[in-house]
Structures are given as structure tokens and as C-alpha cells.
């Protein structure tokens, strides 16, 4: 899996993504502090954020930054490719109920993109814990669920 990074990390190669297409490298740079970790923020309290992430077959969500402790659960069968800031690429087979918990110390983060390499849509729920070691990144209103009036 890609490395959790800290602001002080200095032992990484100058550009571990030099072999990536220029457009992918630029996308990562443009989204280095992207707080949108799902398709829609469906609920938020003073303690947590609940996201839905839908990645259609053959599509990829853009790079985004995780700074809060969180977990995700997959609701569908499928396969995904994770592309990490450190140049690491991994592939995972997902199944309903597949869950992973992540924790970050002060200054740590994870910057990655998820690509659906399967033939079925992938649907995840991600729950971020706002009372984590790092302050939450601000989320733009346009990703919040709009309820009918």
C-alpha cells in the first residue's frame, strides 16, 4: 500500500512519479489538498462525516487527501486500482462488507486516487472522525447532499 506521509518526510526520491503521464502528475498536484474523499457528503455532525463514493466501472475518482482517522466499507463486488502519491500502485478485489480502518498521527496524511478496473460499479461508505490528531480540511458546499425542500 502507498505510504502515509508527513510534512517532514525527506527520504523520498525527487519525483517517484516521473514515469507517470504528465496529465496524471498534474492532476495529483492540482488536488494535493483536495478534501473530497467521496462523491457526496451525506451526513455531518460535530464528530464525524459520512460519505458515499460511487465509482462507475472503468472510471477513476480524482486524487484526494486523507488527514482524519476513518474507515471505509465496500457495498459491492469489484476491483480497484489505488494510485498513491509515492508512486505505488496497488490492486484490490472488493466484496460487500470489505472494510478497512485508517489512523493518522499529527502531520500524517494519505494522498491517492481510486480507479474502478472491474466491470461493475463500486460503492463505498467512508466515515471520517473529526476528532482526530489532525484538523479536518474544509469541505465545499457543492459536495454536500442536497435534500428536497
Query: Does 148 fall in a domain?
Result: no
* Total-model pTM: 0.88
Query: Does 141 fall in a domain?
Result: no
Distance in Å from the first CA to the final CA of the chain: 43
The CATH number of the domain holding residue 71 is 2.60.120.10
Q: What cell does 9 get? A: 518526510
Write down the pLDDT at residue 5: 64
Query: Does 93 fall in a domain?
Result: yes
Number of domains in the chain: 1
Query: Does 112 fall in a domain?
Result: yes
Query: Does 30 fall in a domain?
Result: no
What is the three-class DSSP state of 143?
helix
Write down the pLDDT at residue 10: 52
Quick: pLDDT tens for 100-139: 999 999 999 999 999 999 999 999 999 999 999 999 999 9
Residue 10: phi, psi to the nearest 5? -130, 0
Query: Does 6 fall in a domain?
Result: no
pLDDT classification of 146: cutoffs 50, 70, 90? confident
Are 118 and 80 within 8 A, CB to CB? yes
Q: Which residues pair with 55 in a beta bridge?
A: 122
Query: Does 28 fall in a domain?
Result: no
Quick: pLDDT tens for 16-67: 888 899 999 999 999 999 999 999 999 999 999 999 999 999 999 999 999 9
Query: Does 4 fall in a domain?
Result: no
Where on the phi/psi map is residue 58: left (φ > 0), alpha (ψ -120 to 50), or beta? left
Q: Which domain holds residue 58?
A: 36-134
Amino acid at each position: 500500500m502507498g505510504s502515509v506521509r508527513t510534512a517532514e518526510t525527506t527520504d523520498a526520491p525527487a519525483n517517484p512519479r516521473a514515469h507517470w503521464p504528465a496529465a496524471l502528475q498534474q492532476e495529483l498536484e492540482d488536488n494535493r489538498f483536495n478534501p473530497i474523499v467521496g462523491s457526496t457528503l451525506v451526513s455531518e455532525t460535530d464528530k464525524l462525516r459520512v460519505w458515499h463514493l460511487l465509482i462507475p466501472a472503468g472510471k477513476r475518482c480524482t486524487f484526494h487527501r486523507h488527514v482524519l482517522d476513518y474507515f471505509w466499507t465496500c457495498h459491492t463486488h469489484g476491483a480497484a486500482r489505488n494510485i498513491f502519491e509515492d508512486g505505488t500502485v496497488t490492486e484490490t478485489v472488493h466484496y460487500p462488507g470489505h472494510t478497512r480502518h485508517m489512523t493518522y498521527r499529527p502531520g500524517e496524511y494519505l494522498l491517492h486516487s481510486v480507479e474502478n478496473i472491474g466491470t461493475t460499479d463500486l460503492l463505498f461508505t467512508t466515515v471520517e472522525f473529526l476528532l482526530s490528531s489532525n484538523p479536518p480540511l474544509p469541505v465545499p458546499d457543492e459536495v454536500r447532499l442536497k435534500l428536497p425542500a
